[in-house]
């Protein structure tokens, strides 16, 4: 699950703003290459929620089915095994963020919550500035709404995976990924409820027990 999906789950569980931010941080921090010196108990509670959510989401049959079919289709289209696994996994997650972004209230909550760098104790002023700059870039391009567009997701995956030599997509593989993303997007939309609402009870049980 990507950061906006994590916020949607956090909202469903009714946690506070600090935990909502924390639920997104494990996905956001690698994007700007920084680490906090420490976080409040509330933010850390959200980080714990993030990991519980990923455990349940990645084991959910609808996600596993979409991911498995994606790998098969991508490899049949000539995408190498490693990149096909990455595209099938992350592609579904990004498309789900785009599907969920039709909820204007949730998007407004994201736009209000994600700039919360004041809730984090940073290692340096530079680290905080890098986080704030990343947030500004995300909001400027209208994330998460842009993930509703399979073409944007294909371009985003191309950029993301370019940093990993073994996973970097060739132009032909990016075209194959784009074709698959257009194919699978309606199925992600159909799976929206089981991929979000359907997993909340199991997440709540794990999160409460933690």
Burial class (CB in 10 A: 0-12, 13-18, 19+), 31: middle
Q: What is the pLDDT of residues 111-137, one digit of tens each?
A: 999 998 999 999 999 999 999 999 999
Determine the distance from the C-alpha atom of residue 148 to the mean position of all C-alpha atoms in its chain, rounded to a whole number.
13
Q: Would you say the C-alpha torsion 169, 93, 132, 125 has a positive or negative sign?
A: negative
CA distance 151 to 146: 9
DSSP 168: P
**CB-based contacts of 35: which residues, under 8 Å, 6+ apart?**
29, 123, 127
> If you count them, how many residues does the chain have?
210
Given a cut of 90, whether residue 210 has pLDDT beyond it is: no
Q: What is the pLDDT of residues 42-99, one digit of tens each?
A: 999 999 999 999 999 999 999 999 999 999 999 999 999 999 999 999 999 999 999 9
């Amino acid at each position: 699950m990507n950061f906006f999906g994590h916020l949607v789950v956090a909202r469903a569980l009714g946690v506070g703003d600090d935990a909502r931010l924390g639920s997104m941080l494990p996905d956001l921090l690698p994007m700007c290459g920084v680490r906090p010196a420490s976080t409040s108990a509330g933010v850390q509670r959200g980080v714990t929620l993030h990991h519980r959510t990923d455990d349940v989401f990645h084991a959910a049959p609808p996600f596993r089915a979409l991911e498995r079919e994606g790998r098969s289709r991508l490899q049949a289209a000539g995408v190498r095994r490693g990149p096909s696994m990455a595209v099938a996994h992350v592609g579904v997650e990004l498309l789900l963020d785009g599907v969920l972004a039709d909820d204007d209230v949730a998007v407004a909550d994201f736009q209000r919550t994600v700039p919360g760098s004041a809730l984090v104790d940073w290692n340096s002023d530079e680290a905080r500035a890098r986080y704030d700059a990343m947030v500004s870039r995300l909001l400027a391009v209208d994330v998460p709404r842009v993930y509703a567009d399979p073409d944007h997701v294909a371009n985003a995956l191309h950029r993301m995976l370019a940093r990993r030599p073994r996973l970097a997509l060739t132009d032909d593989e990016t075209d194959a990924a784009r074709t698959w993303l257009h194919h699978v997007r309606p199925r992600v939309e159909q799976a929206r409820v089981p991929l979000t609402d359907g997993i909340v009870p199991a997440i709540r049980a794990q999160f409460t027990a933690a």
